[in-house]
Amino acid sequence: MGVVDKTIRRDLQLLARTGFPLLETLGEFGRKSWKLDTGPGIASLKFNLTEVLSLYLGRRFLEPLAGTNVWIGAQSAFKKIRATLGEGAVEYLDKLAYVFQQTPLAAGDYSKHAELIERLLIAIEDRKIAWVVYHSARATEPVSTEVYPLVLLWHRGSLYLLAHAREDDKVKTYKLDRISDVDVTSLVFNLPDDFDARQYLASSFGILQGDGSVTKVRVRFDATVARYVTEKTWHASQQCTPQRDGSLLAEFLLGDLRELKAWLLSFGQHAEVLEPESLRTEMMDTIESMQQVYQPATPTKTPRSPRGLPR
């Protein structure tokens, strides 16, 4: 199978634990073999057309995971779906799949990280302590860190690992693109019963966390972008109030403002921070720094000839 025996034993235990009818056969010299019971114990999976379309079209959103076991398994499933359909149905699916496209902007490609993802999945599922070699954006060299892997997060075209770092004794996020190696140990960690990844990220405007406190943010969006802002739920806490002049007053309760700040800057002059004052000051400082970058170069004087005429 191209994997170590430990992986096979783990998969067999998982199948048995989750209720799949796994049959064990004892052969010569005590050699064991296993197979899934394909008899009447397993009901045949029957999909209607809508279910087939949904699964078939959904494969496009797995493309960033190309090369991983998740992608390989999905491709195998899609081949089986195609094999059970007639030629006309397959042509229809392919034609319909073309209707749904996604832009390649900032799309991550994790085909080269397939083995790392597999190790992390094992560590998360089995609650195993792992050592990850991580090169943060600010560090000059990669560092090996002992972590308790919790979940994988898909955020804005990139995969992140949410893990408890033993050294800092707090939950942190690690961008998968910056992880060069993962070593899963045999040591098991205890996941707190009250830990919920969604609840943990509830106050984030993405994935970044603050010190635990929550800040109220008020922003005025002018009429140019007001409709665009109301078309999406940017955060669970958002409250949007339309104004008579067509502008929009938006309020958020956030634990970290760094990602919000970057988002607001993307609106340019169409968004104004009203509070807190600290964020308003940060925005003004950033804008002033940008102005310095875009200041025109000081014009140089045109050299003149000895007679006083321009060369």
**Any domain includes 303:** no
Q: 91 and 126, same structural domain?
A: no
Output the pTM of the full model.
Answer: 0.73
Burial 110-122 (b: 16+ CB within 10 A, else e): beebbebbbbbbb
Q: 49 and 115, same structural domain?
A: no
Last residue of a domain, one of 61, 79, 102: 102
Q: 51 and 24, same structural domain?
A: no
Distance CA(56)–CA(172), nearest Å, equals 35
Q: 158 and 124, same structural domain?
A: yes
**Any domain includes 182:** yes
Number of C-beta neighbours around residue 204 at 10 A: 19
Q: For residue 7, what pLDDT band results from cuts at 50, 70 and 90?
A: confident
**Any domain includes 262:** yes
Task: Tell me which residue range forms the domain holding 57.
Answer: 45-102
Looking at the 3D structure of the chain, how many domains does it have? 4
The C-alpha torsion from 101 through 204 and 236 to 65, rounded to 10°, is: 20
Task: Answer whether residue 258 shows pLDDT above 60.
Answer: yes
Q: How many helices (H) and strands (E) does the chain have?
A: 9, 11
Specify the CATH number for the domain of residue 145: 2.30.30.520
Q: With contact defined as beta carbons under 8 Å apart, do 270 and 243 qualify?
A: no
**Any domain includes 115:** yes
Distance CA(197)–CA(70), nearest Å, equals 21
Least confident of 34-43, 76-85, 230-239: 34-43
Distance CA(157)–CA(207), nearest Å, equals 13
* Six token digits for residue 123: 């560590």
Residues facing residue 157 across a β-bridge: none
**Any domain includes 309:** no
Q: 193 and 266, same structural domain?
A: no
By percentage, how much of the chain surpasses pLDDT 70?
Answer: 88
Q: 82 and 52, same structural domain?
A: yes
For the ranges 3-12, 78-87, 237-246, the one whose mean pLDDT is highest: 237-246
**Any domain includes 306:** no
Tell me: the pLDDT tens digits for 8-17? 888 888 777 7
**Any domain includes 301:** no
Closest Cα to residue 217, out of 286, 271, 288?
A: 271
Residues facing residue 20 across a β-bridge: none
Task: Answer whether residue 82 shows pLDDT above 90.
Answer: no
Burial of 12 (0-12, 13-18, 19+ CB in 10 A): middle
**Any domain includes 209:** no
Burial 274-300 (b: 16+ CB within 10 A, else e): eeeeebbeebeeeeeeeeeeeeeeeee
